[in-house]
A and B are shown apart, each in its own frame.
Chain A
Amino acid sequence: MSALQPSELDRPTLARDRSAADADLKSVSAALRRAEFGDRMRSLLLAAPLLVLLALSFGIPIVLLLSRAVYDPTIADALPKTTAALTGWNGQGLPGDDAFVALAADLKDNQAKGTAYELAKSLNARLPGARSQVLKTVRKLESADGQAALGAIKSVPFWSAPSTWPTIQNGTRSLTSFYLLSALDLRWNADGGIERVPPEQAIFIQVFLRTFFVAASVTLATLILGFPLAYLIANVPKGLAAILIVAVLLPFWTSILVRTAAWTVLLQKFGLVNDFLLFIGVTGDRLDLMYSRIGLIIAMTHIQLPFTLLPIYSVMRTIPPSQMKAAYSLGARPFTAFRRIYIPQVFPGVMAGCMLTFILCLGYYITPALIGGASDQLISNFIANYVNVELNWEMAAALSFILLVFTLALFGIFARVLGLDRLKLV
């Protein structure tokens, strides 16, 4: 683009008036834009297979899974008659008999279709204990019709409890905020406002904060360990540097599970670390390193070290030593030279390494599960629990969504403050 200067283009048309020259210029730049657009399209076409693959294998599944956090039609699908009967209800006290009759009919339909269990489970997620009540009522209704059905359903105290019907009404809305609110330790109260859940049930905010705290601690630890090492590798003779790089990368090539398992051997109560500390007399008693926050941070720091170190190293390598010498020759003291010449240049690498480590740490699962104690479990462990054990994928989706939002927000702030173009990823 910069090769075509207006002055060169204009040379044959010097005699013409200015407006004609302008028009020419415009058409040339339009042609240029067209050509550039074609170039861009061609390169996009080359990248198309990758983009399609990403969309199919990454984008769409993520969107589909995350949509579960806000879209849960189980109750609405299972209770169409009840949904209709509740449309005019104001949520106060108990609804009229027609709602009970509709519910009885819906429950019987569910039993016939074999979906009563799904309904029971879905209701139970919102109202603990509802599961057996639904199933009990379904069994009672098997031999009851009309007036008898109304009597049968009213004979189960659960259906006349104050929280039952508002929960059902809430559940009949397919678009729900229930899971997202739960993921933030919030819930709807009886008056239609949002309130915090009681402290003995509040958990996720604390876990999110813990996840960010562990990620930040590990990032800081890898920086403190990685920066001098990167400096060393960048400033020793090539042969030695290669050996050091291999030493850093060697654990990088082993599976994360193996590295974590190795740490459990080292950190356990009668393990090598404790033996050594006792031997040199640093501690009088054996420390509880396993199942503790400190053990978790040690193991994660070890696993993450290359991720922080490599971007820093790759930037340090490009800084010629002569610059520092020049600074000294101009009278700067070593620290001043380091602060004003060296740091600003390695800064993008430091930021890139730290961000890489921080974001990877947010998703740690195996290491906290094996080395962390009960109060060191990170948000991924909870997501895995909801996916695998509770089978509550809606809740898992909500937690993932919140994590994604927090991460993107942090990334956004970061990019805003430092400028994305200053990042250097390797």
Chain B
Amino acid sequence: MTQLRTRLLALAAATACMTGAAFAEELSIMASGGAWQDAQRKAWFEPFAKETGAKILEQEYLGDLGKVKAMVETGNVPIDLVTVETATVLQGCDAGILERLDYAKIAPRDKFIEGSALDCGVGLDAYGDILAYDPTVLKEAPTSVLDLFDTTKFPGKRAMRKFPAQNLEWALMADGVTPADVYKVLATPEGVDRAFKKLDTIKQDIVWWDAGAQPAQLLASKEVVMTTAWNGRIQNAIDTDKKPFKIVWNNQILEYDMIAIPKGARNPELAYKYLAYISEPKNNAKLASYITYGPVRTDAASFVAADALPKLPNAPDHLSGAYLVADTEFWGDYGEDLVKRFNAWLAQ
């Protein structure tokens, strides 16, 4: 809640500052705030500013593109770069509000992990959708994210993101679909029915979360016994707030954070320079030292600090069990429809 409040305040402040963000060597970056933006500042904003002499203007937003769409449609785009989720990149690309990127100015496209270099967005980091729990509350340790669906072994409320993505995939996997077939099954109406039927079995026990900071709060206030979450947020609660939480990696879903250039940005050349800078393997690996999200360059692993490596979602240890890579094309296709169906299901 404090998080949301700070964000809204920051949003107001950001709007107030916008008018001043138009000078040539200023790079205006809008990110979704919190511990993640702090990490980017230390890993990238500050070193880049030092190296190029450019001034970085930071803004915050809640991660939804409505604001950017309004900027592009009114022809007043005071930002040069915006961080987005993969599904949002596709949407923004389709709606014509994000620039289609020229990878010649960034880095060779084949050096990125598959699915992390898209037409309108380039990957920043890899994060995991994982299961977190508090071992002081839960006597027996869950061994897989799919234990969400086992209410006899793990009774009590569980928190899940109020969004169909990940939940439908986990529901199918819990129902016996192999990770390789998940999206094939989910593309059929029967598959969607099957996933919802599986979710039905635990519907009464679910508390839904919206903002990334909520899962840690829900665990801390003992509102739930386990929760799905983004790994970095939980790790942050463990490292910074000294919470006793534990992360379950088995059956995690891997996703990428993206950064994009909105159409009509005032300083696209500097924006490209920034993208090239953070896409260098050495720099790409730097973020992991400040938040536990992994690099997206295939050749960056060797640059990751030794103490950070074991906490990353794409560390070898965490990919030894079952895992799924989120299919952004699938969510671009069926996202809107499944969100509607999901909301209808929630309301029933």
Asked if chains A and B come from one complex, the reply is yes
Which residues of A are in contact with B by a Cβ distance under 8 Å?
114-115, 117-118, 120-121, 124-125, 128-132, 200-203, 206-207, 210, 257-258, 261, 264, 268-270, 290-291, 369-370, 373-375, 377, 382, 385, 387-393
> A377 vs B348: C-alpha distance in the bound complex, in angstroms?
12
Is the C-beta of B347 less than 8 angstroms from some C-beta in chain A? yes
Query: Which residue of the partner chain A has the closest CB to B68?
Result: A391
**3 tightest CB-CB pairs across the interface, nearest first?**
A388-B66, A128-B337, A388-B64
Choose one: B1, B67, B93, B336; the contact of A390 (CB below 8 Å).
B336
Query: Chain B: how many interface residues by the 8 Å CB criterion?
Result: 44
Task: Report whether A121 and B94 are in contact in the complex, using a CB–CB cutoff of 8 Å.
Answer: yes
Choose one: B4, B8, B64, B345; the contact of A389 (CB below 8 Å).
B64
Query: Which residue of the partner chain B has the closest CB to A381?
Result: B343
A-B interface pairs (CB < 8 A), number = 108
Whether A268 contacts B223 in the complex (CB less than 8 A), given A124-B336, A369-B210, A375-B347, comes out as yes
Whether A201 contacts B344 in the complex (CB less than 8 A), given A114-B96, A117-B96, comes out as yes
Chain A residue numbers with a CB within 8 Å of B340 are: 201, 203
Chain B residue numbers with a CB within 8 Å of A370 are: 1, 4
Task: Report whether B336 and A125 are in contact in the complex, using a CB–CB cutoff of 8 Å.
Answer: yes
- Tell which of B278-286, B303-311, B327-335 binds the partner: B327-335
Chain A residue numbers with a CB within 8 Å of B339 are: 385, 389-390
Query: 10 other contacts beyond A131-B94, A389-B64, A390-B91, with CB at 8 A cut-off?
Result: A114-B100, A118-B96, A121-B91, A125-B336, A200-B193, A258-B5, A374-B208, A377-B343, A389-B66, A391-B91
Task: Report whether B66 and A391 are in contact in the complex, using a CB–CB cutoff of 8 Å.
Answer: yes
> A210 vs B343: C-alpha distance in the bound complex, in angstroms?
14
Chain A residue numbers with a CB within 8 Å of B346 are: 374-375, 377
Q: What's the minimum C-beta distance from A394 to chain B, rounded to whole angstroms?
A: 12
Is the C-beta of B238 less than 8 angstroms from some C-beta in chain A? no
> A375 vs B342: C-alpha distance in the bound complex, in angstroms?
11
Q: What's the minimum C-beta distance from A112 to chain B, rounded to whole angstroms?
A: 14
The digit string for B201-237, where 1 denotes a CB below 8 A from any CB of A, is 0000011101000000000011100000000000000
Task: Report whether A269 and B222 are in contact in the complex, using a CB–CB cutoff of 8 Å.
Answer: yes
> A129 vs B207: C-alpha distance in the bound complex, in angstroms?
30
Query: Which residue of the partner chain B has the closest CB to A116?
Result: B94
Task: Report whether A117 and B64 are in contact in the complex, using a CB–CB cutoff of 8 Å.
Answer: no
Task: Report whether A128 and B96 are in contact in the complex, using a CB–CB cutoff of 8 Å.
Answer: no
Q: What's the minimum C-beta distance from A204 to chain B, rounded to whole angstroms?
A: 9
Chain A residue numbers with a CB within 8 Å of B336 are: 124-125, 128, 390, 392
Choose one: A118, A203, A373; the contact of B344 (CB below 8 Å).
A203
Which residues of B are in contact with A by a Cβ distance under 8 Å?
1, 4-5, 8, 62, 64-67, 69, 91-97, 100, 162, 187, 193, 196, 206-208, 210, 221-223, 329, 332-334, 336-337, 339-341, 343-348
Q: What's the minimum C-beta distance from A397 to chain B, rounded to whole angstroms?
A: 13
Task: Report whether A374 and B162 are in contact in the complex, using a CB–CB cutoff of 8 Å.
Answer: yes
Task: Report whether B162 and A257 are in contact in the complex, using a CB–CB cutoff of 8 Å.
Answer: no
Task: Report whether A291 and B207 are in contact in the complex, using a CB–CB cutoff of 8 Å.
Answer: yes
Choose one: B5, B206, B334; the contact of A129 (CB below 8 Å).
B334
Task: Report whether B347 and A388 are in contact in the complex, using a CB–CB cutoff of 8 Å.
Answer: no
Most chain A CB within a 10 A radius of its CB, from B91, B206, B334, B344: B344
Chain A residue numbers with a CB within 8 Å of B344 are: 200-203, 206
Task: Report whether A264 and B207 are in contact in the complex, using a CB–CB cutoff of 8 Å.
Answer: no
Chain A residue numbers with a CB within 8 Å of B69 are: 391, 393
> A291 vs B210: C-alpha distance in the bound complex, in angstroms?
12
Q: What's the minimum C-beta distance from A273 to chain B, rounded to whole angstroms?
A: 14
> A124 vs B91: C-alpha distance in the bound complex, in angstroms?
11
Choose one: A125, A257, A290, A385; the contact of B8 (CB below 8 Å).
A257
Q: What's the minimum C-beta distance from A376 to chain B, rounded to whole angstroms?
A: 9
> A391 vs B1: C-alpha distance in the bound complex, in angstroms?
25
